[in-house]
Structure 1
Amino acid sequence: MTTEEVLGIFREAGAVLEGHFILTSGLRSPVFLQKARVFMHADKTEKLCRALAARIRQEVSGSIDYVVGPAVGGLIPAYETSRHLGVPAIWVEREGGVFRLRRFEIPQGARVVIVEDIVTTGLSIRETVECLRGIGVEVVAAACIIDRSAGKADVGVPLVALAEYEVPAYPADQLPPELAKIPPVKPGSRNI
Structure 2
Amino acid sequence: MLIDLLKETEALLEGHFLLSSGKHSDGYVQCAKLLMHPQKAEKAVELIVEKLQGVDFDIVVGPAMGGVIVSYELARQTGKPSIFVEREDGEMKLRRGFSIEKGQKVLITEDVVTTGKSAYEAIKVVEEHGGVVVGIASIVNRSTGDIKYPLYSAVKVDLNTYDKEDCPMCKQGSTPIKPGSRKIIL
| TM-score where L is the length of structure 2 | 0.92
Shift of residue 100, structure 1, vs aligned partner: 0.9
Q: Which letter does structure 1 place at the counterpart of 2:139?
A: I
Give the alignment partner of residue 11 of structure 1, picking from 4, 7, 19.
Answer: 7
The residue that corresponds to 2:162 in the other structure is 170
After TM superposition, give the deviation of residue 72 of structure 1 in Å: 0.5
Supply the AA of the counterpart residue of 1:147: N
Instruction: Please give the alpha-carbon distance, in whole angstroms, between the structure 2 residues aligned to 1:162 and 1:179.
Output: 34
The gaps in structure 1 that reach 5 residues or longer are none
Query: What's 1:129 paired with?
Result: 123
Distance 1:65 1:118, change over 3 A: same
One of 145, 150, 160 as aligned partner of 1:158: 150
Write the deviation string for residues 128-156 of structure 1: whole angstroms up to 9, x where unpaired: 11111111001111111111025x132x3
Counterpart CA distance in 1 for 2:157 and 2:135 is: 20
Contact in 2 for aligned 1:142/1:158 (Cα 8 Å): yes
The answer as to whether partners of 1:20 and 1:179 remain within 8 angstroms in 2 is no
After TM superposition, the structure 1 = structure 2 runs for residues 8-47 of structure 1, keeping only pairs within 5 Å, are 8-47=4-43
Alpha-carbon distance, 1:97 to partner: 1.8
Deviations 1:154-187 (A, max 9, x none): 2x32111221111111111211147743221101
Contact 2:16 2:169 in 1 (8 A): no
Q: 1:112 aligns with which of 90, 106, 115?
A: 106
- Counterpart Cα distance in 2 of 1:177 and 1:138: 41
Could you tell me which residue of structure 2 aligns to residue 145 of structure 1? Answer: 139
Structure 2: 5+ residue runs without aligned partners?
none
Q: Deviations over 1:37-66 (max 9, x none)?
A: 1011111101011221221124x2x3x211
Give the share of equivalent positions with the same residue, in percent. Answer: 40
- 2-structure distance, mates of 1:128, 1:181: 36
Counterpart secondary structure, 2:175: coil
Distance 1:179 1:86 in 2: 50
CA-to-partner distance for each residue in 1:96-128, whole Å, 9 max, x for gaps?
A: 222111121221111110011101111111111
Q: Which secondary structure state, in structure 2, belongs to the residue aligned with residue 48 of structure 1?
A: helix
Aligned residues: 183
Partner of 1:65: 58
* Equivalent position SS for 1:67: strand
Verify the 8 A CA contact 1:70 1:92 in the aligned structure 2.
Answer: yes
Partner of 1:83: 76
